[in-house]
Structure 1
């Protein structure tokens, strides 16, 4: 599966090709999506939900703006591991912007994993599996997993349980992505700073445009 996933996406650690993108939430109340596209961005990941009781107030307008500008787009869910099950939060995300279809312009949903470790490592891994498997059962694709090396090591025990299924979105603000956590052989998207010119965080897709389109098509 590992080789199949890498081949399907056309990814490799240290790939020469890269596609610019960014991620945003309501903190970026006004985004010039057209200017971002003109500057070379081709995808954006937009906050949709948190837990089971929060919908980002800018999600709909951001999603429409991104679509109208021709960007590949997708939603993300900020996990609250201590408030409800992974399945419950996956279903909430799916019901409020996190859905996916193989239309070539929609990224699989992203699960945002950061903050304090609120569960044991084994319980954290089980929670993520519950979310991931629920999302997969409803859409046919696994969600992207957003994390940083420190969180993944501390909160999951550096688990390698998702290497063969879930693309990694690596948060590391540095001049290089470094070694991915959890035995992932490569990252799919690298969030490399929190100061994108047109708002939000700067992201880089680890592959060429054709590979990004394959990710969007599942």
Structure 2
């Protein structure tokens, strides 16, 4: 058994001895990933498994998780969908938020952007529904085209997309005290020249190749490498991600980027 997994187990046993039914591992203690994948990819070059710090992202599509089991299996962080557009609150946000926090999973909230509502309205909606919580990860703005939207098929010019992104990020930074992270996909990143955003940390989707191949010359902090992952404590498919650095780097990143 690895020292980190042993430490996690000791944390659980200690809590059990105190009469608590909630499994919890301290935030920042890295537990090794023990995940599966319904459609595993044959990676070339550096693989996701070579990164020590793994996490997940969840929304209403995931029912209630056993966050304690997920934490022990290697879920060190979670990005949880909170809002979409200017009037949609994810119905599972509160449950996921409480569960992740209780299990010692570093948690952050994300907003799915809607191109038919102003960034100001959307930023206010996110702030209204996501309390500024000490220790939370920086907020995330999910920027991607949504071909399935029944109400909005608008695809603004690249310059407008970047300008609206910057407005949203600026409002959230002023409220939460941390520059938000931007999640995006290869097509959206390229079409809208998202690399021109200055001072932005990226969470990049790339399920068939390392981000270095899909986003040449772009630095990234988080990499979403599968949408068909299998994680103890969760039923069905789930998105799995890695952090770009080492376990020690993860501690340093948390110390620098968690909300105060």
TM-score, normalising length: structure 1 = 0.82
The answer on whether the counterparts of 2:64 and 2:95 sit within 8 Å (CA) in structure 1 is no
What CA distance in whole angstroms lies between the structure 2 residues aligned with 1:37 and 1:86? 34
Q: Tell me by how many angstroms 1:161 deviates.
A: 3.1
Q: Does 1:59 align with 2:96?
A: no
Q: Deviations over 1:169-198 (max 9, x none)?
A: 0000025222464853x2100000012323
What CA distance in whole angstroms lies between the structure 2 residues aligned with 1:212 and 1:202? 19
Aligned partner of 2:103 in structure 1 is 69
What CA distance in whole angstroms lies between the structure 2 residues aligned with 1:149 and 1:72? 26
Counterparts of 1:102-141 in structure 2, within 5 Å, are: 103=134, 105-115=135-145, 118-141=155-178
Cα-Cα RMSD: 2.2
Aligned partner of 2:121 in structure 1 is 88
Q: 2:202 aligns with which of 168, 171, 186?
A: 168
Tell me, which stretches of 5 or more residues in structure 1 are unaligned? 1-13
What CA distance in whole angstroms lies between the structure 1 residues aligned with 2:98 and 2:129? 14
Aligned partner of 1:216 in structure 2 is 258
What CA distance in whole angstroms lies between the structure 1 residues aligned with 2:62 and 2:226? 15
Aligned partner of 1:46 in structure 2 is 80
Larger Rg: 2
What CA distance in whole angstroms lies between the structure 1 residues aligned with 2:86 and 2:259? 28
The answer on whether the counterparts of 2:162 and 2:197 sit within 8 Å (CA) in structure 1 is no
* Greater RCO, 1 or 2 (C-alpha within 8 Å, sep 6+): 1
What CA distance in whole angstroms lies between the structure 2 residues aligned with 1:60 and 1:149? 30
Residues 183 and 131 (structure 1), Cα distance of their counterparts in 2 relative to 1, 3 Å cut: farther
What CA distance in whole angstroms lies between the structure 2 residues aligned with 1:132 and 1:138? 10
